[in-house]
Structure 1
């Protein structure tokens, strides 16, 4: 079967099923796992799907953030607690939107004397809610912009311009995937521009990625491997095929 024929068949499967496993594609197309892997990489680069563990989904069909908040909760909480060890009193932090950074916000809110600049409404509310209870002296700055469709966060040109008003000691970002070739990646253009601006205006960059994201990549790279100062992930990440190569390229890896 020619490559374009395979691609058309995969598109048809996704259109019908919304989510399709690698095994289903192999069976329907009569091809090897490696061929499916290459085809999914090609289609992801075109923005036509997003690879997930065990197969692929349509880009627009990622689970809502409210649903994703219930996935791998213990892993994300462990990462959040470990990331706190990177932070010092008096620092200014960039924090982007995501379920892992929402868990981080709960830990940051227990600290004091931080300035947290974020586009995430969820992060801002978690910071303020706990801060009021604990009477912690943190400043929380919610970036301006349009509220995105996928997450309760601001995005767009206004948000990016607002980021450039600040200089952070550390950016704490949660990508769709991270691997040794592409660094931290995502597939949503608006969210990627926000993350890229935070990287550009931070002295150091910490990537927070649970074990399921290690070795994965999406269509847009916003932080090259050599720009990542520290990766915070789970101990289970060492089982990922890409982990060894990724660790060699990074200055520091923290396993929670």
Structure 2
């Protein structure tokens, strides 16, 4: 297979799946690990991809949210269940927008009397449905602002100002990547600004990140290491190079 054809197929895999492992690319393309690694170095040099531990992701953007919603669902559910152990009935929560936090909203059905402030339409809708089914269970506040239809969330100055009106027990955030040196990072500045505002106005910050996000550094810091109380991630993340540094960088790491 010619190099250009491999590059085309690698780009297609990354567009469809977000972060893709070297093993998966090797299997799909039918070439050696050494060939894939050389191809990734070349594409990284060209600025088309970003290499991460064990694989790569596209440099220019995240996959669309409808694509991300179908990726690693089992792992995201495990992370949501793990995050749930840090939440108690009656607490005030900030929850940002993301496919993992949307799954978390389903897990919150087991609790009562939550006060939830979110910029995510999916999170607000799911919790409002719960409230309708179980009269008055949760108080849900969707912050106003500039609506991003592709993400299904509100952003911008008006949304940030609204967040600063509240003080929460927990900020539950799902970033693009997490590493020990930089903490949680996001691809778009407006997403990072929202997560930053939520973490600043919460007593504790819980980061929800499936294993593929560990060791990934995205464009903008959304929550520095010193503000991360707990990182909840999958058990397989403990085998990623540099995972040992996470425990010393953050308050705690829960492997689920």
TM-score bucket (shorter structure): 0.7 to 0.9
Q: How many Å separate the matches in 1 of 2:65 and 2:97?
A: 10
Q: Secondary structure at the match of 1:185?
A: strand
Structure 1 pair 86/194, CA: closer, same or farther in 2 (3 Å)? same
Partner of residue 30, structure 2: none
Structure 1 segments, 4+ long, off by >4 Å, are: 16-25, 48-53
Partner of residue 78, structure 2: 78
Instruction: Give 1:87-126 correspondences, 5 Å limit.
Output: 87-126=87-126
* 2:249 paired with 1:237: no
Cα RMSD (Å) of the superposition?
A: 2.6
Moved more, 63-72 or 170-179: 63-72
When the two structures are superposed, what TM-score results if normalisation uses the length of structure 1? 0.81
Instruction: Give 1:24-173 correspondences, 5 Å limit.
Output: 26-27=38-39, 39=45, 51=51, 54-60=55-61, 62-135=62-135, 137-173=137-173
CA contact (8 A) 1:25 1:36 kept: no
Return the offset for 1:134.
Answer: 3.1
Q: Secondary structure at the match of 1:191?
A: helix
Moved more, 96-105 or 245-254: 245-254
Q: Secondary structure at the match of 1:89?
A: coil
When the two structures are superposed, what TM-score results if normalisation uses the length of structure 2? 0.81
Return the offset for 1:66.
Answer: 1.6
Partner of residue 3, structure 1: none
Q: How many Å separate the matches in 2 of 1:132 and 1:110?
A: 15
Return the offset for 1:179.
Answer: 0.5
CA contact (8 A) 1:92 1:168 kept: yes
Partner of residue 214, structure 1: 214
Structure 1 pair 162/65, CA: closer, same or farther in 2 (3 Å)? same
Q: Secondary structure at the match of 1:231?
A: strand
